[in-house]
Amino acid sequence: MFELGGAMRGSVHVTGTTDPHRWDQFTAVRACLGIVNAFKTTAPDDALPRLARSRTGYRGSLTLYRYADRPAESVSPMMSAADHPPSEKTAAVLTAVLRGCAEHVAQRADLPAILEASRYRDTPGLLRFLTWSVSHHEAEAVRLESEARAALPAQRAAEAAWRTAAQWLALSPHPVLLLMLADRPGSLPQKIRELQWWAPYCVEAAAEEHARARRAEAEVASLRAQQRRRPRGRRPALVGAP
């Protein structure tokens, strides 16, 4: 926990967290404005950090991690207690404060203990979420595959209707037939184009959902393996404040 002074008043809490691209890898640090855990706990409005000469408190967080073996950061949207975004200058100050606190913790000698404590704390919740994600993505894949299958006969029926209308028009021109064959919203030509696009889209989207499910399954397996490697009954020691 960092108690702020100078340009800002309030506190910043820094904790270990997962890599944004690998939820089974606790290798990142997250700095939060006035909140202990950006994903679980929200501080009271009057406890939010604020600029020294302002009454407006702000919430938000910044995560430091490595991507492609280079330092990277992810900043959540900064919002006031009244859910208004800060000015550009205030946002820059808030981001700089969060970055400075996160970088300080990232360089601490006891960072491995901080990350291990975070792993111990967050793994049960992550396992519940990722297990739900597997079922959710697989269900979405099944739904999309069903949509793709249904689109093919619908496309064939629309094409057959277009050919029939074209034959009738050739035999007996009529304004209604012209409307059916015209390229306009709700017409047969537009419906056919939409169905021609929809089936391949659903197939591709279903494959992506299967891939997301496999990724979540792999992360579940990794987290459970990490739990098994941790000695039973041993809770990571709490680390002191800087």
Long-range Cβ pairs for the range 218-221 (8 Å, 24+): 218/24, 219/22, 219/23, 219/24, 219/126, 219/130, 220/24, 220/127, 220/130, 220/131, 220/134
Q: To the nearest whole number, what is the mean pLDDT of the chain?
A: 83
Q: From 49, 64, 52, select the one nearest 2 (Cα to Cα).
A: 49
Q: What is the mean pLDDT of residues 218-239?
A: 75
In Å, how far are 19, 27, 32, 59, 61 from 64, measured between CA atoms?
A: 9, 9, 12, 17, 10
- More confident call, 238 vs 114: 114
- Beta strand segments in 101-196, E: none
Q: What is the mean pLDDT of residues 210-234?
A: 87
pLDDT digits (tens, 9 = 90+) for 42-69: 666 777 888 888 888 898 899 999 998 8
pLDDT digits (tens, 9 = 90+) for 76-103: 888 888 889 999 999 998 999 999 999 9
Q: What is the mean pLDDT of residues 1-24?
A: 89
Per-residue DSSP letter, 57: B
Q: What is the mean pLDDT of residues 196-225?
A: 93
What the block records as the tokens of 16 is 């270990």
Q: What is the mean pLDDT of residues 27-40?
A: 78
Long-range Cβ pairs for the range 158-166 (8 Å, 24+): 158/188, 158/191, 158/192, 158/195, 159/192, 161/188, 162/188, 162/189, 162/192
High-pLDDT (> 70) share of the chain, %: 77
Please determine, for residue 241, whether its predicted confidence score (pLDDT) is greater than 50.
Answer: no
Confidence class for position 204, pLDDT limits 50, 70, 90: very high
Q: What is the mean pLDDT of residues 184-206?
A: 78
Please determine, for residue 240, whether its predicted confidence score (pLDDT) is greater than 50.
Answer: no
Look at residue 205 in the predicted model and tell me its pLDDT: 95
Task: Find the length of the chain.
Answer: 242
Cβ distance 113 to 15 under 8 Å?
Answer: no
Look at residue 26 in the predicted model and tell me its pLDDT: 96
The rounded distance, in Å, linking the Cα atoms of 202 and 141 is 9
- More confident call, 157 vs 223: 223
Look at residue 238 in the predicted model and tell me its pLDDT: 47
Cβ distance 37 to 126 under 8 Å?
Answer: no
pLDDT digits (tens, 9 = 90+) for 121-176: 999 999 999 999 999 999 999 999 998 888 777 767 767 766 676 666 666 666 66
Structure pTM?
0.73
Confidence class for position 180, pLDDT limits 50, 70, 90: low
CB-based contacts of 67: which residues, under 8 Å, 6+ apart? Answer: 21
